[in-house]
Amino acid sequence: MANKSLISRILTSIFFKRANVGAVRYARNSRSLYQLIRDALDKSGGLSGNNIAAFREQLGIVTRLLKAYASGDYRQLPWKTLIRVIAVLIYFVSPIDILPDFLPIVGLTDDIALMLWLFSGIKDDIEKFRQWEQTTAAAGEMTTQPVKTIKIG
């Protein structure tokens, strides 16, 4: 219950509202989007503790999804989901939010809670993207097989 209360406070905060406004700009600027992805991965690299591996795996999928979107390779992502993902990443990388990151121990609580809320809320879109990745990888393997040449004469 406390987690829902925290999520509600985050989603209605001025910090998240600003992140939502910024998300539209990021969605339209691939260079900014790539930088946001790098910043999120850098920040997650400094996390430690139980269950962080699962968190990083989910973050990895989400950042691959955004990279594929930014490159134009994957555009099956609904606009609303795209903006939500970007807004959450903006909030995640921002050091100043409901619980500022510089506060020992509790500073990242809101960031991680919001990321977990995101992962849960876009499960179907993540699964579609993973299927697309697998299909794309399989197609790439088929086209990268060496072609045998037959010498005639």
Identity of residue 128: K
Neighbours of 37 (CB within 10 A): 22
pTM for this prediction: 0.84
**In the chain, where the domains are located:** 2-143
- Burial of residue 44 (CB within 10 Å: 0-12, 13-18, 19+) is buried
Q: Is 18 helix (H, G, I), strand (E, B) or coil?
A: helix
> Which string of DSSP letters, residue by residue, matches 48-94?
-STTHHHHHHHHHHHHHHHHHHHHTS---S-HHHHHHHHHHHHHHH-
- Kindly report, residue by residue over 58-90, the tens digit of the pLDDT: 999 999 999 999 999 999 999 999 999 999 999
DSSP 8-class letter at 148: P
- Kindly report, residue by residue over 2-58, the tens digit of the pLDDT: 677 999 999 999 999 999 999 999 999 999 999 999 999 998 888 877 778 888 899
